[in-house]
Chain A
C-alpha cells in the first residue's frame, strides 16, 4: 500500500489554481452567491478549452485524457474556489449516459458541444409526488409517428432556466408501474410548451419546477430503447452515487481551524487553545480525513472498473452536516452573519456551510436511500422499500 500522493498531483493542483486565478473572478463568485444558478457560461467555455468539462474523456473527444484520480484532484481544486461548477458537473452525468447508450447520431450532435463547454444539460428525474421514488414517474410521453408528445411536471430541476437540454425520465407504457415502461429523452429546452417556476432554497441555490405541456420531441432525442429507460437512468444514478463525493467536510475543517487559530476569546487566549475547542477540532479533523480516504478509495475502485457503492456519498455529507452545526456553536453569534456583511466571521463561511450542507445529504440520493443500498449491497439484507 502506498498512500503517497503521486508527484504530479501538485502540478495538477497548481494548474487548477492558475486556471482559477485566470478565470474565476470575485464578480463571478458574488454573482453565483446572488443567483444560485450553479452556472457561468464563460467559465464553462474556459473549462471546455482545457478539456476539463469531461476531463476523463480522451483528448480527441474533447476531454483531457485524465484518469479518475487526476480528474478528481483537478475538479476538487476548482470547486474549492467557490466557482459555479454545479451546471457543468451535472451535465457530465447525462453526457456519459449518452456516450455509452445513446445513438451515434445523438452522440455526434451533442457530445462535442458538451465537451467544449457550450452545452448544459439538466436532470429531469424527480416529480412533486415522487421524491426519492423516482420510478413513481408520471410524466407521460406518447408516440405519434417519429415524434413524442410529453406532458407532466418535474421538481428540483436545478439550472433548468439556463440549460440547453433536459435529461428527462418519462413513462411511455401507460399500463406500466415502477421501473418498467420508462423511456429517457434529451429534450431541447427551447421547445414550445416548457415553462419554469423558480424555487428558492435556503442554501443560496436556485432550483425549478418545470412544466411540460404538449412538448413535441423528435424520436432522435430518445436515449436507449423505448420502454427501456431503466438501463439508462440506472447507469446515470450509479455514476452519481459512485463518484467521489462533493462533501466539504475538509474545507470546513480547514476554515474552522484557521478561524480558531487566529481568533482570540475575551480573555485574550486563542480559541484553539481552549481544550473544549481543541477536542472538537481534532475530532472534526478525523472525520475530514476519513471522508478523504473513503473518497480516495471510491476513485480507486472506480478506476479498477469496480462498483464502490455509495459509502463515501453517505459518510462525507452526513459528517459535513453535523460539523457545520457544531462549528456554529464554537464560533458563536458572529458565525450567524452572512457573507454580504463586512463583519461576518471568515466571510460568512460558517453561515454558508450550515445553510448549504443539509442539501448534500439529499441530492444524488438521500442518506436514507443510500443506507438502504449499502445494507442490501454490502450486508445482504433484504430490500426494505416496497416493490412497485
Chain B
C-alpha cells in the first residue's frame, strides 16, 4: 500500500504542469478555440514525450504506464489544453497492442496524429471528437479493428466544447486486426480513453474550483467577501471533496489496469462516471459564484463550464456507462 507518486512521476507532473500553465493560458485557449487544436502546444508536449511515455521501451517509447499518462492528462485538463490527448494516448497503446508497427513509428516520430472513437455508431455518421486533426481514426467495425484515414480539406465543426471535431468518410481504410482479440484490445483501449478523460476532468474540476474559490475570496458584496457566505463556500467544499475522490479513483483504476487486475475495467468506468458528475457540478457552481459575470465570455470559468460537459459527451453517456459498470460488477442480466 503506497499512495505516493514516485520522484519520477512527480517530476513528470511538474514538467507538464509548467508547460501547460505557460503555453495553454486562457488567451491561447480562446485564440485556437474555433479550430480546437494548438499545433504548437501539441508539438511541444509530443516532444516532451507525452504520448511516447505510454509506449513500451521495446517499441521505442518511454516505457511508462497509464498512471504517467493520467498525470499528464490531469495537467492538460487543468489548463483545458486544446490537444486531443486522451484519444491519441490510448490509440497509441492500442496500435502497440495489435502490432501496428508502421502506425506506432509514425506516432513516435510525430508524422501522424492517430486517435480513436469510442462510440459504436457507423463511422461516417458520427461526429468524431478529434476528427478535424487526427490523420488516422481507429474504430471497430463488427469484429474488425480498422484505421480510417482522414481525407484532405476537413475543417472543425463548430461545437460547444471547442473540440477539434469533424464528420467524414474515410479517404481509405486499413484493417489492423480482426476477431475476438481485436474486439478485446479495442474495448480495453476504450477503457483507457475514458480513464484518461476522467483524469482530464479531475484537472479541469480542480482548476474550476480554484477559479471559483479565488473569486469568492476577492469579490465583495454586502460589505464582506462572498466566500464568507456558506451558500457560496459549502458547495465548493463538497466539490473539492468529491474531486479528491475522483482523483483517487483515477489513480486506482490506472494502477489496476496496468497490473491487469480483474477490477481494472470496472474502476475505469467508475472513474469516468464519477469524474463526469463531479466536474460538471464543480464548473456549474464556480460559474454561478461569479453571478452575471460568469455568463459573460470574458471570464475564464465559461471555458471550463462548456468543456466539463463536452469532454464527457464526446466519449460516452455516463448513465449508459452505469449499465456497463453494472455488468462488470454484477455480471450480465440473466
Question: Which residues of A are at the interface with B, using a C-beta cutoff of 8 A?
Answer: 1-6, 69, 257, 261, 269-270, 272-273, 275, 278-279, 281-283, 285-286, 289-290, 293-294, 296-297, 300, 311, 314-315, 318, 368, 370-372, 374-375, 378-384
CB closest residue in chain B, given A288: B270
Please tell me if the beta carbons of A381 and B245 are within 8 angstroms of each other in the complex.
no
Q: Name A315's contact: one of B234, B245, B255 (CB within 8 Å).
A: B245
B190 interface residue (CB < 8 Å to A): no
Closest-CB distance, A309 to chain B (whole angstroms): 9
Please tell me if the beta carbons of A4 and B230 are within 8 angstroms of each other in the complex.
no
Closest-CB distance, B31 to chain A (whole angstroms): 30
CB closest residue in chain A, given B210: A379
Please tell me if the beta carbons of B234 and A372 are within 8 angstroms of each other in the complex.
yes
Q: Name B334's contact: one of A273, A285, A290 (CB within 8 Å).
A: A273
B-chain residues with CB within 8 Å of residue A1 when the two chains form the complex: 2-5, 67, 251, 255
Closest-CB distance, A244 to chain B (whole angstroms): 13
Which listed segment binds A: B21-29, B166-174, B322-330? B322-330
B186 interface residue (CB < 8 Å to A): no
Indicate with 1 or 0, residue by residue over B249-260, a CB within 8 angstroms of chain A CB atoms.
Answer: 101100110010
Please tell me if the beta carbons of B234 and A375 are within 8 angstroms of each other in the complex.
yes
Please tell me if the beta carbons of A381 and B217 are within 8 angstroms of each other in the complex.
yes
Q: What are 22 residue pairs bridging A and B, where the CB atoms are less than 8 Å apart in the complex?
A: A1-B4, A1-B255, A3-B255, A3-B256, A5-B1, A69-B1, A278-B330, A286-B249, A286-B270, A290-B242, A290-B246, A296-B1, A300-B3, A311-B244, A315-B241, A372-B230, A375-B233, A379-B237, A381-B217, A381-B227, A381-B236, A384-B228
Please tell me if the beta carbons of B325 and A285 are within 8 angstroms of each other in the complex.
yes
B41 interface residue (CB < 8 Å to A): no
Q: Which 3 A-B pairs have the closest CB atoms?
A: A290-B245, A278-B326, A381-B227
Closest-CB distance, A276 to chain B (whole angstroms): 10
CB closest residue in chain A, given B328: A282
Once the chains are docked, how many angstroms separate the CA of A5 from the CA of B213?
A: 36
B229 interface residue (CB < 8 Å to A): yes
Please tell me if the beta carbons of B248 and A290 are within 8 angstroms of each other in the complex.
yes
A-chain residues with CB within 8 Å of residue B241 when the two chains form the complex: 294, 311, 314-315, 374
Q: Name A270's contact: one of B216, B259, B334 (CB within 8 Å).
A: B334
CB closest residue in chain A, given B261: A4
Once the chains are docked, how many angstroms separate the CA of A153 from the CA of B330?
A: 52
B-chain residues with CB within 8 Å of residue A371 when the two chains form the complex: 230, 233-234, 237-238
B-chain residues with CB within 8 Å of residue A69 when the two chains form the complex: 1
Please tell me if the beta carbons of B322 and A279 are within 8 angstroms of each other in the complex.
yes
Residues of chain B in range 202-247 having any CB-CB distance to chain A below 8 Å? 209-210, 213, 216-217, 224-225, 227-230, 233-234, 236-238, 240-242, 244-246
Please tell me if the beta carbons of B274 and A6 are within 8 angstroms of each other in the complex.
no
Q: Name B217's contact: one of A4, A5, A300, A382 (CB within 8 Å).
A: A382
Indicate with 1 or 0, residue by residue over B52-93, a CB within 8 angstroms of chain A CB atoms.
Answer: 000000000000000100000000000000000000000000
Closest-CB distance, B265 to chain A (whole angstroms): 13
Once the chains are docked, how many angstroms separate the CA of A304 from the CA of B263?
A: 28
Please judge, given known A-B contacts A4-B1, A289-B270, whether A381 and B255 are in contact too, CB under 8 Å: no
CB closest residue in chain A, given B212: A379
CB closest residue in chain A, given B9: A1
Q: Name A380's contact: one of B5, B217, B234 (CB within 8 Å).
A: B217
Identify 18 new A-B residue pairs, CB closer than 8 A, beyond the known A297-B3, A379-B210: A3-B1, A4-B1, A69-B1, A257-B329, A279-B319, A282-B325, A283-B273, A285-B325, A289-B249, A289-B267, A289-B270, A290-B242, A290-B248, A294-B248, A374-B237, A378-B240, A381-B216, A382-B225
A-chain residues with CB within 8 Å of residue B244 when the two chains form the complex: 294, 297, 311
Once the chains are docked, how many angstroms separate the CA of A263 from the CA of B114?
A: 48
Q: Name A278's contact: one of B236, B238, B251, B323 (CB within 8 Å).
A: B323
CB closest residue in chain B, given A291: B245
Question: Which residues of B are at the interface with A, using a C-beta cutoff of 8 A?
Answer: 1-5, 67, 209-210, 213, 216-217, 224-225, 227-230, 233-234, 236-238, 240-242, 244-246, 248-249, 251-252, 255-256, 259, 267, 270, 273-274, 319, 322-323, 325-326, 329-330, 333-334
Closest-CB distance, A378 to chain B (whole angstroms): 5
Closest-CB distance, B283 to chain A (whole angstroms): 15
B-chain residues with CB within 8 Å of residue A285 when the two chains form the complex: 270, 325, 329
Q: Name B230's contact: one of A261, A269, A296, A368 (CB within 8 Å).
A: A368
A-chain residues with CB within 8 Å of residue B2 when the two chains form the complex: 1-2
Please tell me if the beta carbons of B323 and A372 are within 8 angstroms of each other in the complex.
no
Please tell me if the beta carbons of A384 and B229 are within 8 angstroms of each other in the complex.
yes
Residue with the greatest number of chain A CB neighbours at <10 A, chosen from B2, B225, B234 = B234
Please tell me if the beta carbons of A282 and B237 are within 8 angstroms of each other in the complex.
no
Once the chains are docked, how many angstroms separate the CA of A195 from the CA of B93?
A: 70
A-chain residues with CB within 8 Å of residue B248 when the two chains form the complex: 290, 293-294, 296-297
Closest-CB distance, B227 to chain A (whole angstroms): 4
CB closest residue in chain B, given A9: B1
A-chain residues with CB within 8 Å of residue B270 when the two chains form the complex: 285-286, 289
Please tell me if the beta carbons of B330 and A372 are within 8 angstroms of each other in the complex.
no
Once the chains are docked, how many angstroms separate the CA of A381 from the CA of B229?
A: 10
Once the chains are docked, how many angstroms separate the CA of A225 from the CA of B256?
A: 51
Once the chains are docked, how many angstroms separate the CA of A300 from the CA of B329?
A: 27
B-chain residues with CB within 8 Å of residue A311 when the two chains form the complex: 240-241, 244
A-chain residues with CB within 8 Å of residue B252 when the two chains form the complex: 3, 293
